[in-house]
C-alpha cells in the first residue's frame, strides 16, 4: 500500500497545469469559472487545442487517439481542467458513445465517427430515456422496423441532454417487440438532421435549457448505423452505463466549486455555524476523493462495492456545494440570474439583477442539480444495486 | 499510489485473523471480559512473538519497518473480533510517543520491553473528561536532588489497568515533559474501571511521586509535540478499529436479514431495509477510504496539514461508525440490544471511537482551524490527498 503520489505523477500534474494555464483562452476560462454552460464554440475551440496535443480523450486506447496515461493521471488531468475553468467537453461523445464504438463498432463506424469526436466536429446526444422508461429503461418503446437497407424509427426520447446542439444521437430502440424487454433492443446511431427528427426544449427549474424531448417520426436510419449486433443493444448500454457510473462521482467539479465558494464567501466563513457546514462538506468530499482513487487505482475489492457509492454520494455533494453557495450569497443567491450570453436561455428570460459577478450561476446550479440524484440511475436505484449486487439481499 | 496489500501486509492480516479465530470466539471473549483483568496476558506474549508490537514502528527506532498501515491492519482485525487488549494504548500510542520523543540513548531501554511484550505502557495525559487537544496541564514536575517529584491527576487512561508503566505528562518549568513512571511507584493511586466497549481504563492520582532523573523522556520541556503526534496516531488507530467494527456489523446484519422471517418472508425482501443496508455500505466504504487518507496524513511533516487530515478522518469515521453500529442494532430488532448477542457490542466499540480523543465537533473545529490560512489555490484538489511539493515525508524524528 502507498497512499501518496509518486514524483512522476506530481511532475505530470505540474506539467499539465502549466500547459492548461498557458493555452486555455482567458475568456473561455472566465465563462467556465463563472459556471456558464459551455457554448458549442467554446467546446470546439478547447477540444481542438487538446486534440492537437493528443489529449482530447485521454481514456481512449492509444490506437484510437487516446493516451497511455494511467487512470490516476487522467484523474489529475481532470482536477486541473476543472480548477482552471476549462469547458466540459462533449461527454456524450467522449465518455459514452466513443467507448461503445471502439469496443463494439464496425471498422467503418470507427473511421467515420471517432476522429470527428476527437476534433469536436460531431457533437452527440444520448437517446435512452422515454416518457415511460426512466429508471425502468428496459421498458422503452421506440420502434425500429427493417425496411430494405434502413431501419424506420418511430417513438419519443426525453431528458435528452444537449440534443439542441447535437449532430448525432446514439439511441436504444426496440427491434424485436416479441422478445423479453432486455433482449429486443438495438443500439442505433441517428443523424439529428434526418427527416422526421424533431427536438423540443424542456426548460428546467434552473431557468435554462440543457435537456430536450426528441420526437422520431418514421426516421430512416441506414443499417450501417447499427452498432454491433441487432437485439444486443442492452449489453452495450450496460457497458456504457457502468462507465457513466464510475465517472459520476464528479469530485473534480465539486472540488472546483468548493474552492470558488471558499474564495467568494471568505466573510461568511467567519460565521462558525456556516463554516462548520462547509468543513463537513469538505470532509465528505475528501472521503469521496479517496474512494475514487481506490477505484481508479484498481483495488480489486473496491470495484463493485464502490461504483454505486461514488454515484450516490457524488451526486449528493454536488447538490450540497451549490446549496451552500446559495446560502453564502444571501439574498443575492435568490435572484434569478440568467446567463448573459443568452445561450440556452428560456423563452421568457428574466432581466439581469445587479448582483456581484461571483454570484452568477449558483442559484441555477443549485436548482438544476436536483437532477444529479435522479439521472444516470437515481440514488434509489443505486441503493437497489448496492443491496442486490453488493450485499446480495 | 497503490491500495493493495503487499505480501508482507497480507500475511500480517492473515496472522491476526487466525489468532482471532482461534483465541477470540465471541463466547470466549465474553467470559474473558468477566475476569478482573478483562484481558489475557498470554495473548500479549503471542502478540510479541508474532511481531505485532513493533509492526508499526520504523526500523530506525528499533521496530520492524512498518508504519501506520501495519497498525491499521492489526487494529481492524482485532476490532472485528472485538478484542479487548491494550494494543492501541501501548503498542501504538505509548510506543509512538517514545519513538518520537526519546533521545537515541534512551530509546532502546524504553522500547525493548514494550516490543518484547514484557512490559505494557499507557499514556497518562488527559486531566478532565472534557479535554480533547493540548490540555492546559495541571500536573506538575518538580526537580529534586535525585530526579523529579510528580503531582497531579489523570483521567480515562486507556489501557491503564494492564499498564506496567505510565507515560505521565506534567508541566515542567515552561514546557511539558513526559515521564516513564512504573505503575507501582509509591504515591501512584490507580482506580480502574470499564469503558463502554469493555476496555479497561484508569484514573490516576499522583501525590509526591518520586522518580529518578532517568524517568524523564526526551530532553525535558519538549514533550507537547510528541504527545500530539502520538495521539494523532491513536486517532487513526481508532479509525481503523471503527472500519473493522463497521464492516463486521454490516455483514452480520446482512446475514441476519436473509434468515430472519416475519410476515412469512425473510426481512431482506423489504426495500426499506435494503436501502438502510445500502446506506450502511456507503458509509463503510467511505470510512475505509477516509482511513487511507488519514493514514497518508500521518506521514505529513507539516503539523497543521497532519492534524487537518487526522481530524477530517475522525470527524467523518466517528459519525459514520456510530450510524452503522446503531442501524445494525436497529435492523436486528430486540435481539440487537441484548448483551448475549454480538451486534450490540460493535455499537459499543463504535460509541467509544466516536467519543474518545475528541468529539466529532471538536475534530470538525480543529479541521477548520488547521485549514485557516491555507493556500487554497495551491491546495485545490491535490494537497488534499498528498503532501504538496516541499512537504516531505517525515520518516525519522530530527534532533
Residues of B in contact with A392 (CB under 8 A): 254, 258
CB contact under 8 A, B315 and A283: yes
- Give the integer Cα–Cα distance in Å for B162 and B166: 10
Query: What's residue B173's pLDDT?
Result: 86
Residue A226 β-bridge partners: A188
Q: What is the mean pLDDT of residues B93-106?
A: 96
Q: Which residue of A has its CA nearest to B384?
A: A286
CB contact under 8 A, A1 and B274: no
The string of DSSP codes covering A146-195 is EETTEEEEEEEE-S-TTGGG-SEEEEEEES-TTS-GGGGEEEEEEETTST
Predicted confidence (pLDDT) at residue B385 exceeds the cutoff of 50? no
CB contact under 8 A, A288 and B286: yes
Quickly state the pLDDT bin for B62 (edges 50, 70, 90).
Answer: confident
Residue spans of the domains in chain B: they are: 7-119, 122-217, 224-385
Least confident window among A133-147, A150-164, A290-304, B61-75: A290-304
Domain A124-231 identical in fold to domain A248-390: no
The CATH code belonging to domain A124-231 is: 2.40.110.10
- Give the integer Cα–Cα distance in Å for A218 and A206: 33
Percent of chain B with pLDDT over 70: 93
Backbone angles phi, psi at A54, to 5 degrees: 85, 20
- Give the integer Cα–Cα distance in Å for A98 and A87: 19
Residues of B in contact with A382 (CB under 8 A): 278
- Give the integer Cα–Cα distance in Å for B66 and B152: 35
Quickly state the pLDDT bin for B67 (edges 50, 70, 90).
Answer: very high
Grid cell for residue A275: 463554516
Least confident window among A122-136, B314-328, B373-387: B373-387
Could you tell me if A225 and A188 are in contact, meaning their C-beta atoms sit under 8 angstroms apart?
Answer: yes
Residues of A in contact with B302 (CB under 8 A): none
Q: What is the mean pLDDT of residues A117-135?
A: 95
CATH architecture of A248-390: Up-down Bundle (1.20)
Predicted confidence (pLDDT) at residue A237 exceeds the cutoff of 70? yes
Burial of A264 (0-12, 13-18, 19+ CB in 10 A): middle
At B248, which helix (H) or strand (E)?
helix B224-259
CB contact under 8 A, A287 and B271: no
Backbone angles phi, psi at B35, to 5 degrees: -75, 165
CA A32 from centroid of its chain's CA atoms: 15
Distance from the B323 Cα atom to the nearest Cα atom in chain A, whole angstroms: 15
Predicted confidence (pLDDT) at residue B200 exceeds the cutoff of 70? yes
Could you tell me if A340 and A357 are in contact, meaning their C-beta atoms sit under 8 angstroms apart?
Answer: no
The string of DSSP codes covering A276-293 is HHHHHHHHHHHHHHHHHH
CB contact under 8 A, A309 and B286: yes
Q: Which of A207, A244, A250, A316 is catalytic?
A: A244
Of A348 and A158, more confident? A158
Annotated active-site residue A244? The verdict is: yes
Residues of A in contact with B258 (CB under 8 A): 392-393
- How many contacts (CB atoms, under 8 Å) link A and B? 163
CB contact under 8 A, A286 and B312: yes
Angle at B219 between CA B216 and CA B221, to 5 degrees: 85
- Quick one: DSSP state of residue A95? I
Distance from the B102 Cα atom to the nearest Cα atom in chain A, whole angstroms: 28
Per residue in B120-179, pLDDT (tens digit) is: 999 999 999 887 777 789 999 999 999 999 999 999 999 999 999 999 999 998 799 999
Q: Please state which CATH class domain B122-217 belongs to.
A: mainly beta
For residue B1, give the nearest of A5, A13, A279 by CB distance.
A5
Contact of A7 with chain B, judged by CB distance below 8 Å, is answered with: no
A377 φ/ψ sector (left φ>0, alpha ψ -120 to 50, else beta):
left
- Give the integer Cα–Cα distance in Å for A289 and A307: 13
Contact of A346 with chain B, judged by CB distance below 8 Å, is answered with: no
Predicted confidence (pLDDT) at residue B389 exceeds the cutoff of 80? no
In the block, cell 480548477 appears at A83
Residue spans of the domains in chain A: they are: 7-89, 124-231, 248-390
Q: Which residue of B has its CA nearest to A386?
A: B278
Q: Which residue of A has its CA nearest to B292?
A: A3
Q: What is the mean pLDDT of residues A234-241?
A: 89
Distance from the B67 Cα atom to the nearest Cα atom in chain A, whole angstroms: 11
Q: What is the mean pLDDT of residues A42-51?
A: 97
CB contact under 8 A, A386 and B278: yes
Predicted confidence (pLDDT) at residue B394 exceeds the cutoff of 60? no
Residue A152 β-bridge partners: A145, A220
Query: What's residue B317's pLDDT?
Result: 98
Residues of A in contact with B293 (CB under 8 A): 3, 286-287, 289-290
Q: Which residue of B has its CA nearest to A254?
A: B381
Query: What's residue B52's pLDDT?
Result: 97
What's the CATH fold of domain B7-119?
A: Butyryl-Coa Dehydrogenase, subunit A; domain 1 (1.10.540)
Could you tell me if B151 and B181 are in contact, meaning their C-beta atoms sit under 8 angstroms apart?
Answer: no
Query: What's residue A60's pLDDT?
Result: 93
Q: Which CA distances in Å does B287 have to A221, A383, B240, B315?
A: 49, 18, 9, 10
Q: How many CB atoms lie within 10 A of CB B49?
A: 11
Q: What is the mean pLDDT of residues B289-307?
A: 93
Q: Which residue of A has its CA nearest to B312?
A: A283
Of B369 and B204, more confident? B204
Per residue in A293-345, pLDDT (tens digit) is: 888 776 555 566 678 899 999 999 999 999 999 999 999 999 998 776 666 66
Q: Please state which CATH class domain B224-385 belongs to.
A: mainly alpha
Query: What's residue A30's pLDDT?
Result: 87
Q: How many CB atoms lie within 10 A of CB A354?
A: 7
Q: Which CA distances in Å does A370 have to A138, A160, A318, A376, A379?
A: 24, 16, 9, 13, 11
B-proximal residues of A, 232-291, CB under 8 Å: 252, 255-256, 259, 262-263, 275-276, 279-280, 282-284, 286-291
Least confident window among A251-255, B200-204, B273-277, B317-321: A251-255
Predicted confidence (pLDDT) at residue A161 exceeds the cutoff of 50? yes
For B189-210, what is the HEC assignment? EEEEEECCCCCEEEEEEEEEEE
Quickly state the pLDDT bin for A247 (edges 50, 70, 90).
Answer: low
For residue B385, give the nearest of A259, A293, A302 by CB distance.
A293
Residues of B in contact with A13 (CB under 8 A): 382
Query: What's residue B382's pLDDT?
Result: 42
Predicted confidence (pLDDT) at residue B248 exceeds the cutoff of 80? yes
Q: What is the mean pLDDT of chain A?
A: 91
Of B388 and B41, more confident? B41
Q: Which of B59, B52, B68 is nearest to B306 (CA)?
A: B68
CB contact under 8 A, A1 and B315: no
Residues of A in contact with B69 (CB under 8 A): 1, 3
Amino acid at each position: 500500500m502507498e497512499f501518496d503520489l509518486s514524483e512522476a505523477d506530481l511532475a505530470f500534474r505540474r506539467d499539465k497545469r502549466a500547459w492548461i494555464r498557458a493555452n486555455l483562452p482567458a475568456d473561455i476560462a472566465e465563462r467556465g469559472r463563472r459556471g456558464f454552460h459551455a457554448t458549442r464554440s467554446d467546446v470546439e475551440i478547447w477540444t481542438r487545442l487538446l486534440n492537437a496535443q493528443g489529449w482530447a480523450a485521454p481514456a481512449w486506447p492509444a490506437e484510437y487517439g487516446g493516451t497511455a496515461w494511467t487512470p490516476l493521471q487522467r484523474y489529475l488531468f481532470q482536477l486541473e481542467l476543472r480548477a482552471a475553468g476549462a469547458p466540459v467537453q462533449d461527454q456524450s461523445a467522449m465518455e459514452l458513445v466513443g467507448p461503445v464504438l471502439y469496443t463494439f463498432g464496425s471498422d467503418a463506424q470507427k473511421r467515420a465517427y471517432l476522429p470527428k469526436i476527437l476534433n469536436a466536429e460531431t457533437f452527440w446526444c444520448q437517446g435512452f430515456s422515454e416518457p415511460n422508461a426512466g429508471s425502468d429503461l428496459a421498458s422503452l418503446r421506440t420502434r425500429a422496423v427493417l425496411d430494405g437497407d434502413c431501419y424506420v424509427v418511430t417513438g419519443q426520447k426525453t431528458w435528452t441532454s444537449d440534443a439542441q446542439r447535437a449532430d448525432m444521437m446514439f439511441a436504444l430502440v426496440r427491434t424485436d417487440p416479441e422478445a423479453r424487454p432486455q433482449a429486443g433492443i438495438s443500439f442505433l446511431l441517428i443523424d439529428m438532421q434526418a427527416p422526421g427528427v424533431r427536438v423540443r426544449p424542456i426548460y428546467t427549474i434552473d431557468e435554462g435549457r440543457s435537456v430536450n424531448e426528441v420526437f422520431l417520426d418514421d426516421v430512416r436510419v441506414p443499417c450501417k448505423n447499427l452498432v454491433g449486433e441487432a437485439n444486443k443493444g442492452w449489453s452495450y448500454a450496460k457497458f456504457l452505463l457502468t462507465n457513466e457510473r464510475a465517472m459520476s462521482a464528479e469530485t473534480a467539479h465539486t472540488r472546483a466549486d468548493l474552492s470558488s465558494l471558499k474564495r467568494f464567501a471568505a466573510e461568511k466563513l467567519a460565521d462558525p455555524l456556516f463554516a462548520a457546514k462547509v468543513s463537513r462538506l469538505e470532509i465528505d468530499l475528501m472521503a469521496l476523493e479517496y474512494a475514487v482513487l481506490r477505484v481508479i487505482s484498481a483495488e480489486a475489492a473496491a470495484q463493485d462495492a464502490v461504483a454505486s457509492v461514488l454515484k450516490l454520494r457524488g451526486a449528493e455533494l454536488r447538490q450540497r456545494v451549490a446549496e451552500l453557495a446559495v446560502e453564502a450569497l444571501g439574498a443575492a443567491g435568490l435572484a434569478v440570474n440568467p446567463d448573459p450570453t443568452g445561450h440556452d436561455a428560456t423563452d421568457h428570460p428574466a432581466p439581469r439583477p445587479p448582483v456581484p459577478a461571483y454570484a452568477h450561476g449558483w442559484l441555477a446550479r443549485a436548482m438544476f442539480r436536483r437532477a444529479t440524484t435522479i439521472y444516470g440511475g437515481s440514488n434509489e436505484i443505486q441503493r437497489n444495486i448496492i443491496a442486490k449486487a453488493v450485499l446480495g439481499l | 499510489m497503490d491500495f493493495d496489500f503487499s505480501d508482507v501486509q497480507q500475511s500480517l492480516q492473515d496472522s491476526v485473523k487466525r489468532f482471532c479465530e482461534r483465541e477470540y470466539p465471541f463466547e470466549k471473549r465474553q467470559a474473558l471480559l468477566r475476569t478482573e483483568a478483562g484481558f489475557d496476558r498470554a495473548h500479549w506474549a503471542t502478540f510479541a512473538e508474532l511481531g505485532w508490537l513493533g509492526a508499526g514502528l520504523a526500523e530506525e527506532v528499533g521496530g520492524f519497518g512498518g508504519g501506520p498501515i501495519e497498525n491499521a491492519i492489526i487494529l481492524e482485525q482485532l476490532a472485528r473480533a472485538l478484542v479487548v487488549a491494550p494494543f492501541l494504548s501501548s503498542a501504538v500510542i505509548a510506543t509512538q510517543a517514545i519513538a518520537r520523543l526519546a533521545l537515541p540513548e534512551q530509546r532502546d531501554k524504553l522500547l525493548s520491553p514494550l516490543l518484547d511484550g514484557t512490559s505494557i505502557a499507557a499514556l497518562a495525559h488527559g486531566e478532565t473528561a472534557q479535554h480533547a487537544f493540548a490540555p492546559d496541564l495541571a500536573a506538575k514536575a518538580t526537580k529534586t536532588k535525585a530526579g523529579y517529584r510528580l503531582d497531579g491527576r489523570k483521567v480515562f487512561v486507556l489501557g491503564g489497568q494492564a499498564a506496567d508503566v505510565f507515560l505521565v505528562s506534567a508541566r515542567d518549568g515552561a514546557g511539558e515533559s513526559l515521564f516513564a513512571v512504573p505503575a507501582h511507584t509509591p504515591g501512584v493511586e490507580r482506580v480502574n474501571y470499564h469503558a463502554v466497549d469493555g476496555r479497561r481504563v484508569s484514573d490516576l492520582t499522583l501525590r509526591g511521586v518520586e522518580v529518578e532523573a532517568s524517568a524523564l523522556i526526551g530532553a525535558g520541556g519538549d514533550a507537547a509535540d510528541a504527545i500530539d503526534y502520538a495521539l494523532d496516531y491513536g486517532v487513526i488507530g481508532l479509525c481503523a478499529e471503527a472500519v473493522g467494527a463497521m464492516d463486521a456489523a454490516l455483514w452480520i446484519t446482512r446475514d441476519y436479514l436473509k434468515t430472519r422471517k416475519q410476515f412469512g418472508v425473510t426481512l431482506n425482501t423489504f426495500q426499506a431495509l435494503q436501502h438502510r443496508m445500502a446506506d450502511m455500505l456507503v458509509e463503510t466504504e467511505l470510512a475505509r477510504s477516509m482511513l487511507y487518507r488519514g493514514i497518508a496524513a500521518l506521514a505529513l511533516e507539516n503539523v497543521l496539514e497532519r492534524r487537518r487530515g487526522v481530524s477530517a478522518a475522525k470527524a467523518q469515521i466517528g459519525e459514520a461508525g456510530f450510524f452503522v453500529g446503531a442501524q445494525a442494532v436497529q435492523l436486528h430488532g430486540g435481539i440487537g440490544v441484548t448483551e448475549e448477542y454480538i451486534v450490540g457490542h460493535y455499537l459499543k466499540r463504535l460509541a467509544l471511537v466516536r467519543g474518545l480523543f475528541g468529539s466529532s465537533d471538536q475534530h470538525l473545529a480543529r479541521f477548520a482551524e488547521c485549514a485557516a490560512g491555507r493556500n487554497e489555490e495551491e491546495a485545490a484538489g491535490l494537497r488534499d490527498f498528498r503532501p504538496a511539493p516541499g512537504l516531505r515525508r517525515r520518516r525519522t524524528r530530527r534532533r
